[in-house]
Amino acid sequence: MQTVWEKVVEELQLRRISDCLFIPRYDGFSLPNLSNSLMKLMGVKPSGRTLRNDVLTGFKNPGKIALVVMDAMGLNMFEKASDTLKHFLNSFFTRRGIPVNALTSVFPTTTSAALTSLNTGLSPQEHGVVAYTLFMKELGSMVNMISLSPVNDERRNRVFELGMDAGKILGVKVLTEKLAEAGVEPKTIIRYGIRNSGLSTLLYKGSGITPALTSVDFAINLVKQVNERRTGFIIAYWDSFDGQSHYYGPFSTEAELELLNTFSVLREALKRVKPEAARETLLIVTSDHGQSRVRDDKSIRLDSLNWLKDSLVMPPAGESRAAYLYLKKNVEGFEKTFLRRIGGNISLFKSRKLLEKGVFGTGEVKPCVVDRIGDYAALSKDDSRLVFHYDLKERMEPEFVRAGAHGSLTLDELLVPFVACRLSSLLEH
């Protein structure tokens, strides 16, 4: 009998770039395609290709759309989680006759890249946000793309003070901005601590922001917006599971209970949706990426690799499981040395080759992308990673990312669930 993984790989016809590493399906089965289908459904011109075999076309003229994004909830939670969590998720969706489909995230499988694609309808090579820690040549700096400030600068939105034009970072209008201009009132629910983060100010432009303190606050605010007649589109993004997964591991008791708690609260809160509002609301549940276990004994630390540091112009950009390497000139035999000293658990690719293979997306390559992806990309295949720190605090304090990480192209990181249903069908049983 086929596993969920085998079925999805077969159905999506995923192509490999290496053993265990797969290319996102930007041609109709990925997050930017979902964004474009949402635009089309709401009467807004899409930015690119919509979903293939678009299940959303079956929901004619929804009065409202609620898009729930659970950070780091990969499809692997429906396959590899404990029996308790799998039973709960199945009872929440599939036992009500609501199918759980699969989409691919983008590369890299990280929040900054994935949410930018979900909110623009563009692939990473088109919008240019190709890392969490991004080398911005125009500033001569490594930038944290969540806070939009140079690394080691705890202030937010510093790139604008340093001369970056907010409009040029993405260069396009985001989903909520387009909807607002079309007369659809969008609302966004996010955790209180990131309400004014640099990336949030860009991605949810034109939308009213409702900050949530807890999962209860998150769920109740979602219900309020569904019941509010004027609201036409809701993005509800919650990241507590991602944090628990980074620290304890994605299949740890702590992480699984966090996800179970969030959906339990959501299930109870949704009972308070008015019947008429439930009938007219299209509910979509998905995630920005999945997450992989990582092990400390499989973590390769840059500080201990003098040969690698001596080969690089600067420390890597990107993520620990998808690192961009900038080589010095005249470094010879780097690929052979990397394989001999690092081993086969982290695969090395020429970054431009990944561009050519379509790993970063489809469409026009934004000029800045070539400078941002370095000479090589080092992608993890199992529970290993390449650890490097720019943040001085991270060097001095216990690591936050210690048992779970993402960024690479394993199925654990790449595949995300995709659920679409009338909210009323979720509440009928």
For residue range 356-366, what is the model confidence (pLDDT) as tens digits?
Answer: 999 999 999 99
Exposure on the CB side of residue 234, measured as CA atoms within 13 A: 29
Q: Which pair of tokens denotes residue 254?
A: 């702590």
Query: Does 150 fall in a domain?
Result: no
> Is residue 358 domain-shared with residue 220, that is, in the same domain?
no
Domain of residue 200, CATH code:
3.40.720.10
* Residues with pLDDT less than 70, the chain: 1-5, 391-398, 429
Q: What is the pLDDT of residue 341?
A: 95
The answer to whether position 102 is within a domain reads: yes
3-state SS, residue 68: strand
Q: Which long-range contacts (CB under 8 A, 24 or more apart) does 17-20 make?
A: 17/349, 17/354, 17/357, 17/359, 17/409, 18/347, 18/349, 18/379, 18/381, 19/381, 20/381, 20/382, 20/410, 20/411
Domain co-membership, 245 together with 381: no
Q: 278 in a domain, yes or no?
A: yes
Residue 268 CA to residue 277 CA, distance in Å, equals 16
Which ranges in 324-401 belong to alpha helices (H)? 334-342, 351-357, 369-372, 392-396
**What per-residue confidence (pLDDT) applies to 154?**
84
Same domain, 197 and 321: no
81 and 195 belong to one structural domain? yes
Amino acid at the residue 349: F
Q: Identify whether 79 is part of a domain.
A: yes
Q: How many domains does the chain have?
A: 2
Tokens 């001369």 appear where?
A: 163
Q: Are residues 343 and 269 in the same domain?
A: no
Domain encompassing residue 53: 4-124+158-292+411-427
Global pTM?
0.96
**263 with 398, same domain?**
no
- Report d(CA 333, CA 331) in Å as an integer: 7
* pLDDT value at residue 55: 81
With respect to residue 231, please indicate whether it lies within any of the assigned structural domains.
yes
Residue 361: CA count within 13 A, CB half-sphere: 30
Tell me, yes or no, whether 202 and 234 share the same domain: yes
Same domain, 249 and 383: no
- E strands of 77-172, at which residues? 101-104, 133-136, 141-144, 149-150
Backbone φ and ψ for 386, nearest 5 degrees, come out as -105, 110
133-136 and 141-144 strand pairing = antiparallel
Q: Is residue 323 part of a domain?
A: yes
If asked whether residues 323 and 192 sit together in one domain, one would say no
**Residue 136 resides in a domain:** no
* 66 and 203 within one domain: yes
**Three-state secondary-structure class, residue 54:** coil
Does one domain contain both 84 and 177?
Answer: yes
What are 98's two structure tokens? 């609501």
Q: Strand 141-144 and strand 317-319: pairing?
A: unpaired
Dihedral sign from CA coordinates of 401, 404, 409, 415: negative
CATH code of residue 346: 3.30.1360.180
Whether 359 and 212 map to the same domain: the answer is no
Evaluate whether residue 144 is within a structural domain.
no
